[in-house]
Amino acid sequence: MSGTGEDRKDLARNRQAFHLYHILDRFEAGIALTGAEVKSIRAGQVQLRDAFAQVLAGELWLLHCHVTPYAQHTHLGLTPLDPLRRRKLLLHREEIEKLGGKVQEKGLTLVPLRLYLKNGKVKVELGLAKGKNVVDKRDALRERDLDREARREQRER
């Protein structure tokens, strides 16, 4: 544990989001899950690749986040939940309204960047993002390759 009393453990990352979007701002949100979903997420059975968040009727929802049904849950004869069901994100009303306004006005989107544990609770890091165009993506790839080559040369010295 760290000295601040917070214990954080990454459960899933959306690496593709950094390739497809410019991340302008980040927010932490709680997420409403069932017990079986929490167990499945802790086991790493979650996919954030196509997921996004959207404000619907004044509430923030996580859509297209695939959580594989927990194997032991279905083994007990209980009906599994839909792996792609929408999940409610927990933020203060003012934050939801502010994010909804930015998404409406500026054509931005909310993408989940990572799922992590914070003090035993599953949290979502959301990014307020603007889509990259093809040139930006190529520049990012070129920059990454140059950095990789520079590190390789540095190691060889």
- Is the pLDDT confidence value at 2 over 90? no
- Structure token digits, residue 126: 């959301």
d(CA 128, CA 25): 5
Q: Strands 59-63, 66-67: parallel, antiparallel or unpaired by DSSP?
A: unpaired
Q: Cα separations (Å) of 4 from 7, 30, 87, 119, 122?
A: 8, 20, 30, 11, 18
Q: Are 70 and 36 in contact (CB under 8 A)?
A: yes
- Is the pLDDT confidence value at 79 over 70? no
Which range scores top for mean pLDDT: 64-73, 80-89, 105-114? Answer: 105-114
Residue 116: pLDDT band with limits 50, 70, 90 = very high
pTM of the model: 0.75
Poorest-confidence range of 60-64, 80-84, 86-90?
80-84
- Is the pLDDT confidence value at 80 over 70? no
- Is the pLDDT confidence value at 149 over 80? yes
CATH class of 9-132: mainly beta
- Is the pLDDT confidence value at 3 over 50? no
- Is the pLDDT confidence value at 64 over 70? yes
Element (H or E) spanning 22, and its range? strand 21-31
Q: Are 99 and 54 in contact (CB under 8 A)?
A: no
- Is the pLDDT confidence value at 78 over 70? no
Q: Report pLDDT for 28.
A: 93
CA-based nearest residue to 46, from 18, 79, 14? 14
The mean pLDDT value of the chain amounts to 84
